[in-house]
């Protein structure tokens, strides 16, 4: 397999992970908002908030990796 094809596959996989992470953040944030509205702030609320925060930080690393691989393809 050519180098460019390998990088394109990596880039497609990263984009897939990015889409899944965005979906998880949207669903989890919605659930956390609903939980807060009904006044059910408990341990699960804080665990969900922590997981949401970790997912958002993970998005930053995914974006940096996508940007790096896109730049590599541009240079080839």
Contacts for 63 with CB less than 8 Å, ≥ 6 apart: 18
List CB contacts of 55: < 8 A, sequence separation 6 or more: 21, 24, 25, 28
pTM: 0.85
pLDDT tens for 35-46 read 999 998 999 999
pLDDT band at 73 (very low <50, low <70, confident <90, very high): confident
What is the chain's mean pLDDT, rounded?
A: 93
The model's pLDDT over 13-69, given as tens digits with 9 standing for 90+, comes to: 999 999 999 999 999 999 999 999 999 899 999 999 999 999 999 999 999 999 999
């Amino acid at each position: 397999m050519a180098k460019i094809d390998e990088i394109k596959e990596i880039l497609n996989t990263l984009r897939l992970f990015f889409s899944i992470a965005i979906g998880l953040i949207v669903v989890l944030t919605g659930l956390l908002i609903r939980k807060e509205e009904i006044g059910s702030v408990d341990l699960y609320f804080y665990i969900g908030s922590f997981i949401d925060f970790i997912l958002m930080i993970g998005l930053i690393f995914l974006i940096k990796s996508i940007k790096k691989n896109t730049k590599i393809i541009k240079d080839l």
